[in-house]
Amino acid sequence: MDITVTFINGRWETDPSPAIVAVGTRVRWILRAPELEARSLFWKVHFGDRPPFGENYRTLEVRTQFTDVRRRRAMDQEILRSLGLSEELGVAHRGVTQSHAAEKPGDYKYDLELRNAATGEKIGDDDPWLFVVRGVPIHPSDFIVF
């Protein structure tokens, strides 16, 4: 499952929010900042005491580089469409974490943090939810187990 995180105009948009996945589902974060012009950004997805992916994956980190899309935006959007490619490729900052299988069921409030990679200055933070479930109720007396 992809969780898309967009930092735009000083606020965070996480989709889906909250994220709900079955045990064993591979999860990755797509990190976007379409309007930030910092040369390089450092993103961190951090789980506190109980990481759902195991101890080795408590913190996921990504560095993104600025791509100046303003001066070629209209033409590039048209070219991307004509080639059948996603316009997502034209976003100024875009990065992706590695995907990991959600091993442990539970409710996980995790920390998102965004910093200017050159200066270390904190740009923003957020704390969305990830729910890892063993089953889904389909009827008051029955549910599907994963």
For the stretch 106-145, pLDDT in tens is 999 999 999 999 999 999 999 999 999 987 666 666 656 5
Assigned domain for 18 exists: yes
3-30: average pLDDT: 95
Is omega for the bond preceding 137 within 30 degrees of 0, making it cis? no
Q: Give the Cα separation of 88 and 116 in Å (integer).
A: 22
Predicted local distance difference test score (pLDDT) of residue 79: 59
Assigned domain for 140 exists: no
CATH code of the domain in which 87 resides: 2.60.40.10
Q: Give the Cα separation of 101 and 70 in Å (integer).
A: 37
Q: Using alpha carbons, select from 131, 96, 130 the residue that is nearest to residue 14.
A: 130
Domains in the chain: how many in total?
A: 1
User: For the whole prediction, is pTM greater than 0.85?
Assistant: no
Assigned domain for 76 exists: yes
Assigned domain for 91 exists: yes
The neighbour count for residue 120, using CB atoms within 10 Å, is: 8
Assigned domain for 145 exists: no
Which residue range(s) make up the domain with 121?
2-135
Assigned domain for 41 exists: yes
Residues, the chain? 146
